[in-house]
Chains A and B, each alone.
Chain A
């Protein structure tokens, strides 16, 4: 048995564009028609967000602007209950706490990066220290169960309450990663 979420249109709300809805075979005896969301572009994601569906496209441009120059294929971050309701060519990053996707800032970016690139998470945290919300970072990491990767890149330096799970990478190696990935800009 597993719990699944559903998407419902509230009174007065516009429907999503038809091309984003792909009908699932109607199950006999069930009165409502079920759809899967088809997400093919960043504008589809914007459309979902306009409909208050907490989908978020994590792009390398955002990470680069945040001080860690990188290219990667975008990740579509979705509440984990929604994952089974979506078809997409994007790589999907399931997130336990959908609140993290409502209006993500640097704190949420660090949390998302911890999932697949903890070194990037560390560098972004360090280069945006003033914008980090320490209590939120603690809460997000706990909610997503990311204590191990957070420990690996010593995020306790930013949010000391994060429980230590596993072993951290040597400080010297983390310093090297920072030195080895300078923010883009004019050469020194």
Chain B
């Protein structure tokens, strides 16, 4: 099901002819019960600068802040819901950003209602590769409590092997697995 926030973001992105994949919580929401309202979209590295430039002039958006690989806009028509635009090269490891985006589109996403959503493996991979990965590890634990199979962590390793980031990813997955093994978390996953 397409959330209204994603629908609003999709309308803007389509109007500008930008290729993108929904990533982050809204993508996980296709498989899990918990998500925040913000919309994260990943765009091809070659399109990143152009996207930010066009969005600065877009009447439906307000630029909130901008970093080198990420810019946050707010969608005015739906109460200022954040729309994060992320450069694919952030996660491409030894490959190019274009190659990462191509992989994301062809192997790391599924299309629902005409919108491409990243798989949980892909979302977790990107979360664990950020500098704030420990906070994102908490979100992964919440996703597993919500019913996303912990076994999908194996798929994260496969992505990491493809992009040469496996050393970092393996260490961070070990942290997530240790959190999932906590008795209080295990009991919630198992249910009463």
B135: which of A73, A119, A145, A149 is its contact (CB, 8 Å)?
A119
Segment from A9-17, A38-46, A135-143, A179-187 that makes contact with B: A179-187
Complex contact B80–A182 (CB within 8 A): yes
Complex contact A187–B192 (CB within 8 A): no
B38 within 8 A of A: yes
Known: A71-B34, A117-B142. A188 touches B74 (CB 8 A): yes
Measured CA separation A176–B82 after assembly (Å) = 14
Complex contact A187–B188 (CB within 8 A): no
CB of B71 to closest CB in A, whole Å: 13
Measured CA separation A145–B185 after assembly (Å) = 12
CB of B60 to closest CB in A, whole Å: 10
Give chain A's interface residues, CB within 8 Å of chain B: 60, 64, 68-73, 83-84, 91-94, 115-119, 145-146, 148-149, 152, 169-170, 172-174, 176-177, 180-182, 184-188
B149 within 8 A of A: no
Complex contact A188–B145 (CB within 8 A): no
CB of B113 to closest CB in A, whole Å: 17
B37: which of A71, A93, A117 is its contact (CB, 8 Å)?
A71
Which residues on the B side are within 8 Å of A73 (C-beta)? Answer: 33-34, 146
Binary contact readout B33-56 vs A (1 if CB under 8 angstroms, 0 otherwise): 111111000000000000000000
| Those 3 A-B pairs whose CB atoms lie nearest each other, nearest first | A187-B74, A187-B80, A73-B33
Q: Which residue on chain A has the smallest CB distance to residue B84? A: A180
B59 within 8 A of A: no
CB of A164 to closest CB in B, whole Å: 16
